[in-house]
Structure 1
Amino acid sequence: MRMPVHRVFRWPMGLLLMVSATACVADDFLDLRAVKPVQGDAARGETLAATCGACHGPGGNAVIPTFPKLAGQKVGYLYWKLVQFKREGRQESPMTALVSPLSDADMRDLAAYFASSKSVAPTAAPKPSTGATLFRDGAAERGIPPCQACHGDHGEGIDIAGEPQYAVYPRLQGQQPAYLTQRLTEFRDGKRRFTSSEQVMSGVARSLSDEDIRAVSDWLPYAQ
């Protein structure tokens, strides 16, 4: 029986996580390797989400290319991203002012709402891309692991009982190409290393060329 790829790569990725997280000594660093399940009140979250639609679209289905889609995203990922924005306090980010007044309960409820919201599939035709091969198989000769090891065969996400870190690895399927390109480039350039997950992605993305990033970003919105 062929062993699933995410099982094959579990230990090397875990080792990379420990090394990277240990190397980061910032007081506000978030270690997400053993977080507890996140629960919230989705109905209450909907009442708090009115202003979110301006950037993230109705129900979290973003139409602005550089903003992430929140609909159908993992609740754990959404909650911890809000916590991250609140702790980082990046002045250049509009999220800083928006999350500042939110309580922990507010963030959990917002995460629960967007996680429960239905994700609308892209309607545009996919671009020809080699991204599927790179995403699923990686490129061992260049030190690039398969993305599906943490994000699922089609970017739909992975949930494994007893391994809480997978709860904060985001679903990528259906995201906008421009947003994915922006995020992967930031990881490659070492601009986002605030959490243990970002430390891992920074290491992985370091081997990606501009062409690799565009290929993966063009394929993921339409991955089936």
Structure 2
Amino acid sequence: MHRYRTALACGGLAAAFAAAAAPLPDTLAQRVAPCTACHGKEGRAAPDGYHPRIAGKPAGYLYNQLLNFRDGRRRYAPMVYLVDPLSDGYLREIAEHFAALDLPYPAPAPTREDAATLQHGERLVQQGDPARELPACTGCHGRQLTGVAPAVPGLLGLPRDYLGAQLGAWVSGQRRAQAPDCMAAIARKLTPQDVAALAAWLASRPVPQPARPAARFEADPPLECGGVPRSP
């Protein structure tokens, strides 16, 4: 009986090893599976508030961010490890895969900021602050804040903590982009109160439908940004 059980156990282990050794399907969906481990199912965003949605973002934006991680302009060890050995062509394939996903957005989380903070954030987003040479967010990210193809991301549908962390990273220089780095120039003019208000107001807004990026800028953006072509 002992030998019979041993044989069964060994047979089970052999089957498990055989399954593990079976070749995986060579599809793009299989190859981008590591991305969804952090960014959530189909790139819809993780519930931790720090790993953002990548589904439906403009392909040029996603491609630029992958390049920034690979080439040292952005520093987050798991992302750097993931993309460091990948070619430009492979990174573009990944970007185009997630950009093509058209998935619904959840409702925004309830806000806990006071009315004055939200009003300050809305004013910066919609009007900027000319006295400090701060352009409105809508000047680059689109009137509906859903981004502009091919390379400007939307600002809605993102968690407050993620927005605050990324704006803070621009302010501190931990996050950079291709030159000319327009977001770095803008972020250096933001106060901590500005960052908190922007993140709170943007996170409180529902995503309009359809949520796709605008096809082009309605007018030239206020600053030239590396990796972002202007509309002809």
TM-score by length of 1: 0.69
Question: For residue 140 of structure 1, what is the amino acid of its counterpart?
Answer: P
Judged with a 3 Å threshold, the aligned counterparts in structure 2 of structure 1 residues 189 and 49 are, in CA distance, closer, same or farther, namely: same
* 1:69 aligns with one of 37, 53, 75: 53
SS at match of 1:111: helix
CA distance in 2, matches of 1:150, 1:89: 21
**Residue in structure 2 matched with residue 135 of structure 1 by the alignment:** 125
CA distance in 2, matches of 1:79, 1:149: 22
**Residue in structure 1 matched with residue 148 of structure 2 by the alignment:** 158
CA distance in 1, matches of 2:197, 2:36: 29
Report whether the alignment pairs 1:121 with 2:125: no
**Residue in structure 2 matched with residue 220 of structure 1 by the alignment:** 202
**Residue in structure 2 matched with residue 209 of structure 1 by the alignment:** 191
Question: For residue 56 of structure 1, what is the amino acid of its counterpart?
Answer: H
**Residue in structure 1 matched with residue 15 of structure 2 by the alignment:** none
Relative to total residues, which structure has the larger helix share, 1 or 2? Answer: 1
Give the conservation status (yes or no) of the 8 Å contact 2:57–2:153.
yes
Cα distance, 1:195 vs structure 2: 1.3
**Residue in structure 2 matched with residue 84 of structure 1 by the alignment:** 68
Gaps of 5+ in 1: 1-42, 160-166
Q: CA RMSD in A?
A: 2.3
1:58-87: per-residue Cα shift (whole Å, max 9, x none)? Answer: 111112211121011000011121122122
Judged with a 3 Å threshold, the aligned counterparts in structure 2 of structure 1 residues 145 and 172 are, in CA distance, closer, same or farther, namely: same
Give the conservation status (yes or no) of the 8 Å contact 2:56–2:102.
yes
CA distance in 2, matches of 1:125, 1:149: 26
Report whether the alignment pairs 1:183 with 2:158: no
CA distance in 2, matches of 1:89, 1:46: 27
Aligned pair count? 174
Judged with a 3 Å threshold, the aligned counterparts in structure 2 of structure 1 residues 193 and 52 are, in CA distance, closer, same or farther, namely: closer
Q: Which runs of 4+ in 1 moved over 3 A?
A: 89-92
Report whether the alignment pairs 1:99 with 2:89: no
SS at match of 1:196: coil
Cα distance, 1:118 vs structure 2: 2.5
Gaps of 5+ in 2: 1-25, 209-232
Q: Give % identity.
A: 34
Cα distance, 1:210 vs structure 2: 1.5
CA distance in 1, matches of 2:144, 2:77: 30
SS at match of 1:88: coil
User: Which one has a bigger Cα radius of gyration?
Assistant: 2
Q: Which structure is higher in RCO with an 8 Å CA cutoff and minimum separation 6?
A: 1
Report whether the alignment pairs 1:108 with 2:108: no
TM-score by length of 2: 0.67
Cα distance, 1:44 vs structure 2: 4.8
